[in-house]
Chain A
Amino acid sequence: MVPEVTDQAPPAGARTVRERLTGLARWESALVVLLIAVVIFGGSLSSLFFSSYNLFTLCTNIGDLAIMALPMTLIILTGEIDLSVASILAISAETMGALISHGWSIGPIFVVVIAIGIVCGLINGLLVTRVGLPSLAVTIGTLTLFRGLANVILGPNTVSSFPAPFNTLGVNGFLGIAWLSWSVAIFLVLAVITAIVLRMTPFGRSLYAIGLSEEAAFHAGIRVKRIKLGLYVISGVVCALVGMLYAFELSSAGENIGIGFELQVVTIVLLGGVSIFGGRGTIIGVTLAAFVYAGLRSALLLGTSLNENDYQVVSGALLILSVLVPNAAALARRANDLFKLRARRQAGALSADTGG
């Protein structure tokens, strides 16, 4: 009798690896297909979709989120999370606003903003690594804390006069390319760097090890706590700088700037195929996810009667789907096993009859 192949808990490796590799490849190819579908969908809904004005808007909408998604990816890879990213963005943007209204020039503000990023990152990172609190709780706390501080710093004012050339970042394209925003250009550069770091440096590779087994990583000499602390600081600095960039693009720094961004950033990262449990994911996936996310949003807002609030439904559904779909294979397998079990039960009863 030819042994039948079942999918249950295979100890022999060839199959798992192939499954895993193709699983990964499939996720990213699915994103490519999805992106193409979104582009076609957008183009078919409205002729304006491909207009350089719309593409530029799309870019400005996604660039900042996408940049923040890069450090978020690294943090989620280690099995942690940082939900305070949008509040760090706010604290930086509103501090900048306050300082500009006091007549500061951009140079010193830049230094202050970086310092803010470092301090915010240290607060998150030290609470998570040294005190040992769960990052979800810590960063929900600092989400509120930093947001509150931001509003204390600026008060109810809105600052909207920024010095040239920064005041035109939200209107002019990158290096004269009309449809390409500065934020997306910066994102693409950072994404390439992050991808190289992740794949080709011991630091990047250790993130996967930490996410899959923190204890084994520690036993292999990886300085788990220091690395996590470093990631929170990197995230803080990046988000603080994005705060400046975003305020420039918006030509406005005021209350509620970037509110809710953290969940959009997490959505993009998870949609990109990064495992919420850590240890799996690629920058390519996250990059594709960012454009799928932005494209879908643009298409729906432009071509249908949906508004910004309605899109939250789509965004939420995407988040759930990106966590659900990778597990769908396991669910399907379970159903398949159940089916086989029934078949075997009948066969077993049969052979018992004939054999007895």
Chain B
Amino acid sequence: MAASDRSVEMSHPESDQKSGVTPVLAARNVSKSYGGVAALSDVTLELLAGEAHALIGENGAGKSTLVKLLGGVLLPDSGLLEVAGEPVVMAGPADARDRGIAVIYQEPTLFPDLTVAENVFIGRQPLRSGRRIDFRAMNRAVNEIFDRLGVRLDPDRIARGLSIAEQQLVEIAKSLSLEAKVVIMDEPTASLSSVEVERLFRVVQTLRSHGTAVLFISHRLEEAFELCQRVTVLRDGTFVMSRELAGLTADDLIRAMVGRDVLARQHSGGAHGQTVLKVDHLTREGVFLDVSFEVAAGEVVALAGLVGAGRTEVARAVFGIDRYDAGTVTVAGRELRRGSPSAAMAAGIALVPEDRRQQGLVMDMSVADNISLASLPNLRRRGLLFAGVERAFARDWATRLQVKYGRMGNPVSSLSGGNQQKVVLAKWLSRRPSVLIVDEPTRGIDIGTKSEVHKLLAELAAQGVAVLVISSELPEVLTLADRILVMREGRLVATLTQAEASEERIIAAGTGQSLDSGDAEVSAK
């Protein structure tokens, strides 16, 4: 069995070298199927005290299912879970929590109207006489936890308006207050800025030093290398390997995940056509200020910068989701009406939004209905819509984008993240836009699909579409863009051509730091 012949070598000081150590949490040969489709088969995972363990695999590889099994949300069809060597049956998430397992999801769901401290202690607030909540004791306890984690957050603050990073910290504090021995983080860094990621990593180190095991799920391999000691790779619901990260390279992991090599896109670098999208002195009070740029036909322009720099907000204003206070948006020489997505669409703009689940898709509608949703008026025959016409249209575009779906009538929520994103792309590309704006087009999708999306965007540009990409992943920005616009605190602060762009330069411009070292490197090359 692949699971049993691993040599377990831990970084934790007090441990044996061989497998005599009892894992704090283990899944042994677990399998799980949904309606006859195996999501996970015969997978084994061991978490040791004090380690950060990376769980990687493409979307659909079974990571989420495994997390749900470990977190007590699902029951395995076969196989065993062990907590500290004892076989257990998790009766539900609460049972898992009581056994010291905390799961922190990508986007935590706090109670927005309660304070940070109340969220940490929800359901078990310390009481004083008269069954009233002892706020002082509660805040003191929460402050202690934050001190231990080395983060600063006001326990009295109302949770509404906390950034996702801060919400995660609240969840981590909660797991600490429950004395969790295992903390499972499901893609915690997907929507964090690099500064927030660093803080999260420091917190994870603190957790480890207290002997907590951390299971870390991420699509960003460099993060796994930076943070984790061991890695488990899943592919198509099966176990590929589980071993120490030291000695492995990113290419090794990618091969293990995908089963093949992934090639990056080559820049066309060709000449561009006429300016299609022109954004002129666009201002929205308190959000972004005096933003001007142009995107030409066949050009890929990236908007880079920290999360919160105003990139998404500019895109939303251009597409008409949000209003703006001053400035103009012009498409092919014609000024757009403000605040009207339908006007933007009529002018040829398409926006693939940041939040796939809330904004990009109607999750409860079918794959076909989602693909055709933005094209319905064009699909009428004699004024009416016919199911056959729509299905053919949706099937055509699903095929073009290589969406993997069961049936056209399945709800889009049944697809993996990468395929959902392809559905969003199909929905917009089927309108044959002249301007395509994509906001974090590959967030939370697997490496294989990611490179497909990159290739697709390059092809669209080659066909003469003006492409505006917003991305927090600098390698992605550097791979895709002909020109990179960097935003900081609502302003456009730098424009870099592909030749002069480097990760250092983008970060420097985005954070407002001096360019010394970055410049030296660039000029040295």
Contacts and interface: CB of A to CB of B under 8 A. Distances in A.
Given A12-B34, A200-B386, A219-B360, A345 B414 contact: no
A202 B385 contact: yes
Majority SS at the chain B contact face: mixed
A175 B406 CA distance: 51
Contact of A12 (B91, B361, B376, B414): B414
A12 B39 CA distance: 9
A344 B34 contact: no
Interface in B361-413: 361-366, 369, 373-374, 376-377, 380, 383-386, 405-407, 409-411, 413
B1 to A, nearest CB: 14
B31 A3 contact: yes
Contacts of B35: 5, 10, 12, 14-15
Contact of B363 (A206, A213, A223): A213
B78 A1 contact: yes
A216 B362 contact: yes
Contact of A200 (B37, B321, B362, B384): B384
A14 B65 CA distance: 18
Given A13-B406, A220-B373, A212 B39 contact: no
Contacts of B112: none
Nearest to B95: A341
A9 B92 CA distance: 14
A185 B374 CA distance: 36
Given A218-B341, A348-B89, A208 B353 contact: no
Interface stretch (A16-24, A104-112, A118-126, A241-249): A16-24
Nearest to A3: B33
A280 to B, nearest CB: 8
B247 interface: no
B345 interface: yes
A321 to B, nearest CB: 23
Interface in B423-464: 427
B366 A17 contact: yes
B342 A11 contact: no
A6 B40 CA distance: 14
Contact of A13 (B39, B89, B411): B411
Contacts of A205: 369, 373, 376, 385
A229 to B, nearest CB: 15
A337 B383 CA distance: 48
Contacts of B358: 213, 215-216
Contact of B345 (A221, A348, A355): A221
A6 B413 CA distance: 18
A299 to B, nearest CB: 37
A219 B351 contact: yes
Given A12-B39, A15-B34, A202-B377, A356 B87 contact: yes
B384 A9 contact: no
A17 B359 contact: no
B87 A351 contact: yes
Interface string A337-356: 00011001100110110011
A3 B384 contact: no
B386 A219 contact: no
A17 B36 CA distance: 15
Nearest to A206: B376
Contacts of B364: 212-213, 279
B289 interface: no
B252 interface: no
B374 A221 contact: yes
B38 interface: yes
Contacts of A14: 35, 37, 406-407, 410
A213 B361 CA distance: 8
Contacts of B114: none
A34 B279 CA distance: 60
Contacts of A356: 87
B145 interface: no
Classify chain A's interface size. Answer: 35 or more
B385 to A, nearest CB: 5
Nearest to B414: A13
Contact of B407 (A17, A208, A213, A216): A17
A305 interface: no
B181 interface: no
Nearest to B88: A348
B213 to A, nearest CB: 22
A64 to B, nearest CB: 29
A215 B376 contact: no
Contacts of B377: 202
Nearest to A15: B35
Nearest to B416: A11
A324 interface: no
A355 B80 contact: yes
B424 to A, nearest CB: 10
Contacts of A11: 34, 39, 65, 413-414
A217 B361 CA distance: 8
Contact of A348 (B65, B87, B321): B87
A219 B410 contact: no
A147 B395 CA distance: 52
Nearest to A210: B362
Contacts of B33: 3-5
B74 interface: yes
A199 to B, nearest CB: 8
Nearest to B82: A352
A356 B360 CA distance: 49
Given A1-B78, A4-B77, A21-B409, A216 B361 contact: yes
A13 B410 contact: yes
A8 interface: yes
B415 A13 contact: yes
Of B87, B360, B373, B406, most buried by chain A (CB within 10 Å of CB) is B373
A340 B76 CA distance: 12
B52 interface: no
Interface in B36-95: 36-39, 41, 65, 68, 73-75, 77-78, 80, 86-89, 91
Contact of B37 (A12, A212, A222): A12
A21 B366 CA distance: 11
Contacts of B362: 209, 212-213, 216-217, 220
Interface of B: 31-39, 41, 65, 68, 73-75, 77-78, 80, 86-89, 91, 321, 340-342, 344-345, 351, 353, 358-366, 369, 373-374, 376-377, 380, 383-386, 405-407, 409-411, 413-415, 427
Query: Which 3 pairs of residues, A with B, have the shortest CB-CB distance?
Result: A13-B414, A13-B410, A3-B33
30 contacts: A1-B77, A3-B33, A3-B36, A3-B41, A4-B77, A5-B33, A8-B74, A8-B75, A9-B74, A13-B415, A14-B410, A15-B34, A17-B409, A17-B411, A200-B384, A201-B384, A202-B380, A202-B385, A205-B376, A208-B369, A209-B373, A213-B362, A216-B360, A216-B363, A218-B321, A219-B321, A341-B91, A344-B75, A352-B87, A355-B87
Given A3-B32, A6-B34, 7 more contacts: A3-B33, A12-B39, A13-B406, A13-B415, A212-B365, A213-B362, A220-B374
Interface of A: 1, 3-6, 8-17, 20-21, 196, 199-202, 205-206, 208-209, 212-213, 215-223, 279, 340-341, 344-345, 348-349, 351-352, 355-356
